[in-house]
Structure 1
Amino acid sequence: MIIDAHQHFWDPARADYPWMGAPELAPIRRAFGPADLAPLLKANGIDASIVVQCRSALEETQEFLRIAHATPSVVGVVGWADLTDASLGDTLDRLRALPDGNKLVGIRHQVHDEPDPDWLLRADVQRGLAAVVARDLAYDLLVRTRELPAAIAIAQAFPQARFVLDHAAKPAIADGGAAEWSDRIAALAACGNVWCKISGLATEANWKDWDAERLFPFVEHVATCFGEDRLIFGSDWPVCLLAGSYAEIKGALEACLAKLGPQVREKAFGVNAKGAYRLAIA
């Protein structure tokens, strides 16, 4: 089974997305739903997807679970819940009790938007992470280079947890990369309980001037650090449309992974996502 482990649904007419206000994001400031994604999955040979959090609202997580219940191709939901809430465990239990609540496979917060680079290390956040881990859910790390030291520390503090790094921590591809990112990625990968999504890379490059060759050094670095068993493909649709079509994004990542060997590609396009999120699929 080929899995897109990172895609989104949203409707700016029905909810507020603070991160979507920048003028350059106007092309994606409209509704995107399952009916929009379905033909793209079919055309690109994708069997299933995981829908991922877009805003800090429990209502969105509930909506995504309703979508998953009605959409067989959506095999997992990485939703949002307040890690700082002392009753988070009860909230997660209620979510899991909903129809298709078993499709809740992870929790995510937009950590890179927090003023404090050490937000993950706060005592109340760690209490929340403990509740996530106790319910056998993964936690998606949405961080940049600035927050990677905290991510490393939290992965070490919770060795029994499963963490998934989104977008390879958004390297500065347009600027040619940075040694600080490379070194911190290697340190995070040394924690054996962290997977890395090869996703969102084209939108960290120059949107008008990128190709697989320019993405490859970054893909190669995370592949070297994380190994073939901890790389995961994600399209980051529809954010990816800022830089290219679904087919162009998938094709570029396939080309990068193909250079690393057929087994790397095969695992990144399905097997590793099933393991990281413990997906209940054949």
Structure 2
Amino acid sequence: MNRKEFLTSASVLGLASLGGDALSDVGERMYTRSLPIVDTHQHLVDVERFGKDWAHPPVAGNYGIAEYKRVIKGLNIVKSVYMEVAVPRDKRYEEALYAIELCGDKRNPTVGAVVSADLYMDDFRGYMSQFKNSSCIKGIRAGFKSRESMLDSGVVDNLRFLGDMDMRFDFIIPPAWFPDMAKLIRACPDTQFQADHCGNADPKAFFDQKVYGKPDHDRAEWITGMKAMASEKNVVCKISGLVSRSTGYPVTAENLAPVINHCFDIFGAERVMFASDWPWCLKGMSLAGWVNILKQVVKDRSFEEQKKLFHDNAIRHYKI
């Protein structure tokens, strides 16, 4: 027996001596370390740099890049995408410049950014054209004035312009608006859309017994609307936000699995992406806690599907 064979044999014997449960635990830890992760929804609120009125995270504290680098230690998060943090309107351009600065600093994992813009502004094209040559700005997140205005010609034209610039659009809307969003997505076939936070799903809608209060939406309405949006190929779903809600129920893999599995089944393994929503996730648990819960939910899926969720889809979608 050569040295390599001896070491391999000794390793196997050593693991086997731990017993079934311990062996499973070791295997899970080894597997977890090997899975690369792209965080597609990294909020940063550096109040020490920008002041307390820059943005308002739900948990008091400073959440700059230094803090983010500390909390991801050991999680194998290899890249991240900055997500806008609802700064005041007059600070939006400054936030974009901050994101570009982050992307240029190779000492941190931030490689792209989704910034804030107003879809209804008169000079939307002029404003966004400032970032045309930026490899960092990957798109915008913006709200709608009303459900009725989602299909306004100006909104449609501006979203089509995003597609012309190879930029993406993140959205968070009530499930009741999903049918109109499906029409909007269909009207902008060359623009990539991103349904944030599992389509704004409330896990309580999927509990068999309504012991934790009335959910924010109807289960069937959410499923039907998500299917309508997912029927368009230019939309993906971010698996996030579930631990960021004011829950009132145990935040466990068992309770979050129905929503996550529905997202997988509706969008398919090619169109789901992990997102931390840090530090907003701290309303429910640590970033590491959310990563571990999601890994528990998807542990029976193939390695290829898990890698698509945590890494590959984001790399392809954001071109990073």
With normalisation by structure 2, the TM-score equals 0.77
Structure 1 window deviating more from structure 2 (227-236 vs 37-46): it is 37-46
Which position in structure 2 is the counterpart of 1:270?
311
Q: 1:40-66, CA deviations, whole angstroms, 9 ceiling, x for partnerless residues?
A: 222211111111011152322222222
- Superposition deviation, residue 68 in structure 1: 1.9
Aligned equivalents of 1:103 and 1:207: distance in 2? 38
Q: Is the 8 A contact 1:145 1:170 kept in 2?
A: yes
Aligned equivalents of 2:177 and 2:45: distance in 1? 26
Is the alpha carbon distance of 1:228 and 1:206 closer, same or farther for their aligned partners in structure 2, counting shifts above 3 Å? same
Which position in structure 1 is the counterpart of 2:28?
none
Aligned equivalents of 1:10 and 1:39: distance in 2? 15
Q: Is the 8 A contact 1:170 1:204 kept in 2?
A: no
Q: 1:139-158, CA deviations, whole angstroms, 9 ceiling, x for partnerless residues?
A: 11222313212211111111
1:53 pairs, out of 84, 90, 104, with: 84
Which position in structure 2 is the counterpart of 1:104?
137
Q: 1:158-193, CA deviations, whole angstroms, 9 ceiling, x for partnerless residues?
A: 112211111112112134462111111111111111
Q: 1:105-156, CA deviations, whole angstroms, 9 ceiling, x for partnerless residues?
A: 1111134xx4x12343222222211221110111112223132122111111
Q: CA RMSD in A?
A: 2.0
2:188 pairs, out of 148, 158, 161, with: 158
2:159 pairs, out of 129, 152, 163, with: 129
Aligned equivalents of 1:118 and 1:174: distance in 2? 28
Aligned equivalents of 1:147 and 1:62: distance in 2? 32
Secondary structure of residue in 2 paired with 1:47: strand
Identity across matched positions, percent: 26
| Residue identity in the other structure for 1:48 | K
Secondary structure of residue in 2 paired with 1:68: helix
Unaligned runs of 5+ in 2: 1-35, 207-214
Which position in structure 1 is the counterpart of 2:301?
260
2:263 pairs, out of 193, 197, 222, with: 222
Larger radius of gyration: 2
Which position in structure 2 is the counterpart of 1:84?
120
1:238 pairs, out of 252, 262, 279, with: 279
Structure 1 window deviating more from structure 2 (177-186 vs 220-229): it is 177-186
Q: Is the 8 A contact 1:207 1:243 kept in 2?
A: no
Structure 1 window deviating more from structure 2 (231-240 vs 125-134): it is 125-134
Which position in structure 1 is the counterpart of 2:9?
none
Is the alpha carbon distance of 1:102 and 1:236 closer, same or farther for their aligned partners in structure 2, counting shifts above 3 Å? same
Aligned equivalents of 2:317 and 2:247: distance in 1? 30
How many pairs align? Answer: 266
Q: Is the 8 A contact 2:156 2:187 kept in 1?
A: no
Q: Is 2:225 the partner of 1:184?
A: yes
Q: Is the 8 A contact 2:176 2:221 kept in 1?
A: no
Unaligned runs of 5+ in 1: none
Aligned equivalents of 2:290 and 2:132: distance in 1? 33
Q: Is 2:53 the partner of 1:15?
A: yes
Secondary structure of residue in 2 paired with 1:182: helix
